């Protein structure tokens, strides 16, 4: 069922949305912005194949990537130069795009008909062109994917070059006459979720001229941090993803390229040349585009260290930026805050691609979901008054259970790795001794405390065997209602009604199912996680043999977040060995002893912790929680 004008819920009306039937366009009020004035059904739809200058599939011919284009016919007749919104993806014929799994479609002559997502429906009537690029080796492009490497990034970069007259486009996959983009201003904004947003990050890191802004949604900033964490491996590899997205690529032989993926992504978790090629954070100094990030703080697919380290690197380079953080998992903001997202995105593109002075660059930098559907603007991210605070592990009366405070301590504590236990087992019964983890917590908070930014932990650990894994997590102990990010939908429920967002054409409508928050009640919330291989204590580039009984000091990162711990709750640090749901175990699972005087956690905190925390006060027995589920695809 599609919502008619009288069927909108109050929240959508308050946000400026008029939900329209299938034949009309939803309108969002945008101050001094581009309005719907062009006929979407009569828009020009075409495909251009752009020469990438590479021969990834080894067939002796330069690879060509397919760029499917939809643009208003009226602007072409008037000779107007218009900007481009681009989504470069490997998924248009393999796993689909969006919450409703849309694929590209074509007519019997191969002309593009169906463009996934709402970008074309909404923005083409407002004077934009929308260009959807098939990465090399996928859908109608030749060549091979290389999972975030030169081929992937170059696929989109060369289309931007073509839009700016620096590359050659053709009217056919092979042969064909040359085609120029004389209809565009050359200003490009890239957008996309997951793999698509990752490519936007990678292209921005090249500094390509013409790319004015990117909107990476739940995107990777360093592929190492998708597949590895400080030396620890997550148990899945790039070659698997390549095989998935190349499944319908027209028969190219990509076995040689896929072999390079297997060889480069070493199983031991070391950071080497393969990962350096796919590390956009290291190249952030090249970014000239503005950046609007969206990420779920409970995203267990593209973990949040990816947005945190990218954000910090962009900040160091003075890049204009904005961020939305939701309580969801791997979810597009169109599917958890639709009206506000479309309005904000419209203003963002209008400003950075059309040069419209609408003031969006002066809006609060960050917008954070504090509780399901309850949002707060924040002047900066991390929060302006959040300061890096060192907390120490202090022993209590129960072995392996103590307090977390600002005073240094002495002594040791230990746990035995058990590769069959992980986060849920460690967090349960927080007042009790556990053989497989140690747990240290603050006293009950007298006032709220905010964790805003990226934390890290430094351990001095002595393993009983020659190999060891370490896991750590920050936990908010106390009752809460949260988005059920581990359920199907990762925090949203998809209904049957639809709202429509732009113009319609045969085979390409603008209507999408309404979603609502899927919530659950819990007794604790994990707000940050991190993993490491102790053998990488000296360097991530090469692990070092461990001598049983010898202490080693290592610092590793915990995931980026923005989370308010309410008064009456407690903040806890849990340290264990192999996290069964996430990392691969060592050859021999050791007993690990921590030197408390040389072990601490560094947390960006705003607010006061108890001056003299007392052990105890945590709940005993099983606790309500959200069970994690494996998430290893990049949709």
Q: How many CB atoms lie within 10 A of CB 308?
A: 27
CB 194 within 8 A of CB 218: yes
Identified catalytic residue from 34, 141, 151, 194? 194
CA distance 85 to 628: 35
- CB-based contacts of 438, cutoff 8 Å, min separation 6: 393, 400, 401, 402, 413, 414, 415, 574, 575, 576, 594
CA distance 104 to 102: 7
Q: How many CB atoms lie within 10 A of CB 359?
A: 11
φ, ψ at 478 (rounded to 5°): 160, 155
CA distance 616 to 622: 16
Q: How many CA atoms lie within 13 A of 355 on its CB side?
A: 4
E-strand ranges in 241-357 read 290-296, 321-326
Q: Quick one: which H or E segment has residue 131?
A: strand 129-134
φ, ψ at 162 (rounded to 5°): -65, -40
Buried b (16+ CB within 10 A) or exposed e, 209-244: ebbbbbbbbbbbbbbbbbbbbbbbbbeebbbebbeb
Cα 495 to its chain centre, rounded Å, is 25
Q: Nearest to residue 221, comparing CAs of 625, 583, 560, 597?
A: 560
53 DSSP 8-state letter: S
Q: Quick one: tokens of 619? A: 């709940």
Per DSSP bridges, beta strands 600-606 and 456-463 are antiparallel
- CB-based contacts of 626, cutoff 8 Å, min separation 6: 482, 484, 485, 486, 520, 522
Annotated active-site residue 299? The verdict is: yes
Buried b (16+ CB within 10 A) or exposed e, 79-102: eeebbbbbbbbbbbbbbbbbbeeb
3-state secondary structure (DSSP) of residue 158 = helix
Annotated active-site residue 452? The verdict is: no
Q: Quick one: tokens of 88? A: 């470069």
CB 135 within 8 A of CB 152: yes
Q: Quick one: which H or E segment has residue 184?
A: strand 184-193
φ, ψ at 580 (rounded to 5°): -60, -30
Identified catalytic residue from 57, 196, 330, 476? 330
Q: How many CB atoms lie within 10 A of CB 497?
A: 13
Cis peptide before 220 (omega within 30 of 0): no
φ, ψ at 14 (rounded to 5°): -65, -30
3-state secondary structure (DSSP) of residue 342 = helix
3-state secondary structure (DSSP) of residue 527 = strand
CA distance 303 to 536: 21
CB 339 within 8 A of CB 500: no
CA distance 47 to 173: 9
Identified catalytic residue from 299, 350, 476, 508? 299
Supply the residues annotated as catalytic.
194, 299, 330
């Amino acid at each position: 069922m599609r919502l008619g004008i009288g069927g909108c819920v109050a929240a959508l009306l308050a946000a400026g949305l008029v939900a329209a039937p299938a034949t009309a366009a939803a309108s969002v009020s945008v101050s001094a912005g581009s309005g719907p004035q062009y006929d979407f059904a009569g828009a020009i739809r075409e495909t251009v194949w752009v020469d990438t200058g590479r021969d990834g599939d080894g067939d002796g011919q330069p690879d060509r990537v397919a760029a499917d284009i939809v643009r208003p016919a009226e602007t072409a007749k008037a000779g107007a130069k218009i900007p481009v919104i681009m989504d470069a993806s490997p998924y248009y014929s393999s796993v689909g795009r969006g919450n409703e799994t849309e694929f590209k479609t074509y007519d019997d002559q191969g002309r593009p008909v169906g463009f996934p997502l709402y970008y074309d429906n909404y923005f083409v009537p407002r004077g934009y062109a929308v260009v959807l690029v098939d990465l090399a080796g996928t859908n109608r492009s030749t060549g091979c994917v290389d999972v975030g490497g030169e081929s992937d990034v170059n696929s989109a970069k060369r289309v931007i070059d073509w839009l700016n007259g620096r590359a050659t486009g053709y009217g056919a996959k092979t042969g064909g006459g040359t085609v120029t983009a004389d209809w565009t201003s050359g200003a490009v904004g890239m957008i996309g979720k997951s793999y698509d947003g990752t490519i936007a990050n990678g292209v921005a890191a090249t500094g390509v001229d013409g790319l004015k802004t990117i909107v990476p949604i739940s995107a990777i900033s360093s592929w190492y941090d998708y597949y590895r964490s400080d030396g620890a491996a997550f148990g899945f590899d790039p070659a698997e993803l390549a095989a998935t997205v190349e499944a319908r690529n027209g028969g190219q032989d990509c076995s040689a390229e896929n072999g390079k993926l297997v060889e480069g992504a070493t199983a031991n978790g070391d950071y080497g040349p393969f990962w350096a090629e796919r590390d956009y954070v290291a190249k952030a100094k090249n970014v000239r585009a503005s950046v609007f990030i969206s990420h779920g703080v409970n995203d267990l697919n593209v973990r949040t260290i990816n947005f945190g380290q990218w954000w910090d690197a962009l900040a160091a380079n003075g890049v204009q930026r904005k961020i939305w953080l939701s309580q969801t998992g791997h979810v597009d903001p169109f599917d958890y805050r639709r009206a506000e997202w479309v309005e904000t995105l419209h203003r963002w593109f209008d400003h950075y691609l059309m040069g419209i002075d609408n003031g969006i660059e002066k809006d609060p930098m960050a917008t954070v979901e504090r509780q399901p559907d309850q949002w707060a603007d924040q002047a900066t991210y991390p929060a302006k008054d959040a300061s890096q605070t060192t907390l120490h592990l202090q022993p209590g009366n129960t072995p392996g259970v103590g307090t977390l405070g600002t005073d240094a301590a002495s002594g040791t504590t230990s746990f035995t790795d058990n590769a069959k236990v992980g986060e849920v087992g460690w967090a349960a019964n927080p007042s009790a001794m556990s053989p497989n983890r140690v747990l240290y917590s603050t006293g009950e908070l007298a006032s709220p405390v905010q964790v805003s930014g990226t934390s890290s932990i430094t351990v001095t650990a002595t393993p009983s065997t020659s190999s060891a894994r370490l896991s750590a997590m920050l936990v908010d102990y106390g009752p809460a209602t949260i988005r059920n990010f581990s359920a199907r939908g990762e925090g949203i429920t998809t209904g049957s009604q639809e709202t429509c967002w732009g113009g319609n054409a045969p085979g390409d409508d603008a209507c999408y199912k309404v979603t609502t928050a899927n919530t659950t009640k819990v007794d604790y919330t994990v707000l940050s996680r991190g993993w490491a291989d102790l053998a990488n204590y000296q360097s991530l580039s090469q692990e070092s043999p461990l001598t049983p009984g010898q202490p080693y000091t290592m610092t590793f990162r915990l995931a980026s977040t923005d989370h308010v711990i309410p008064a009456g709750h407690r903040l806890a640090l849990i340290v264990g060995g192999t996290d069964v749901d996430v990392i691969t175990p060592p050859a021999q699972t050791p007993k690990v002893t921590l030197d408390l005087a040389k072990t601490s956690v560094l947390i960006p905190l705003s607010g006061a912790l108890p001056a003299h925390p007392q052990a105890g006060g945590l709940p005993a027995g099983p606790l309500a929680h959200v069970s994690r589920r494996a998430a290893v695809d990049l949709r």
